[in-house]
Amino acid sequence: MNTHLSILSEVKQGNYKILARALTFVENNIAPADQILKNLNPRAKNIVIGITGPPGAGKSTLVNSITNHFTAANKRVAILAIDPTSPFNFGSLLGDRIRMAAQFNNPKVFIRSLATRGALGGISAKTIEMVDVLKASNFDIILVETVGVGQSEVEIAGLADKTIVVLVPESGDEVQHIKSGLMEIADCFVINKADRDGADTFANNLKKTVHQGLKSIPVLKTVADKNTGVTELCKWILKPVEMTNERKVHLFAEKAWRIIQNQKMMAVDKKRLQENIQAALVKDDFNVYRFAEEFVKL
């Protein structure tokens, strides 16, 4: 069962156990990961939804509500929850997996956590590869929830068919969100926790602002923990994606660039780098530029 073709066959049929194994192979560069990726179907029709936004916006709760809606409609959902990388063991902190515990025993749901691996925008090359493996399976919808680091999360736009930016009434001046780059990546703004004071005012101001842009961006209100507004959001998710050839070329170029960048950096062992830095710092003549030049030659 370790040949790439047999693995892909089982993944396509919805064998979650084999899917989990395939994702582990890909995440850790274990053979036959390379052959699995090279033999993926490039025309997969699954919908990939990116969900991003600042910490505390209720992204995980919203993902849970969206998942409940689609599984009730007999659809299969995959969730890739991207967690911050621990600076101590370089692994995922698994916070989102804990918050989605209610979905663990649902046969229509598959959940996987992934560490950011130091990617500032919450998206690493491994995220791209693992989403592509998920697309090879029989899921109707793939939800990618990125770590809430705010302004640098624009990379999610190159991964998902649609990107949802989740905000809360306390998020502040909507102009600041536009400055952060969220206007460029958002296909839909969701004002979550909309039962709080100021939600209507914030939503109306945001609508006025987005309507000044080149594309029409819906602004929806939800109260995820009460399942309010989730049905309307899910209807928007299922609407067909319209993508120009120019945008498609741009997105695939960005995707290829990140994959190539990862392959170039694969030989750099961060743990070994940290150990070598520790040893080098005791020298009085330590210079980080000389160190870096020598390290890449090792």
The residue extents of the domains of the chain are: 1-39, 42-244, 267-295
Q: Domain 42-244 class?
A: alpha beta
Alpha-carbon distance of 295 to 272, in angstroms, equals: 10
Q: Six-digit token pair at 267?
A: 């030989």
Alpha-carbon distance of 115 to 131, in angstroms, equals: 14
- Using CB atoms within 10 Å of the CB of residue 122, give its burial: 0 to 12 exposed, 13 to 18 middle, 19+ buried: buried
Alpha-carbon distance of 92 to 85, in angstroms, equals: 5
Alpha-carbon distance of 143 to 46, in angstroms, equals: 10
- Using CB atoms within 10 Å of the CB of residue 133, give its burial: 0 to 12 exposed, 13 to 18 middle, 19+ buried: buried
pLDDT score, position 62: 95
Alpha-carbon distance of 116 to 81, in angstroms, equals: 10
pLDDT score, position 269: 83
Alpha-carbon distance of 131 to 128, in angstroms, equals: 5
Below-70 pLDDT ranges, the chain: 1, 84-101, 116-124, 147-158, 172-184, 212-215
At position 153, the amino acid (one-letter code) is E
Global model pTM greater than 0.75: yes
pLDDT score, position 182: 63
pLDDT score, position 120: 41
Alpha-carbon distance of 276 to 294, in angstroms, equals: 11
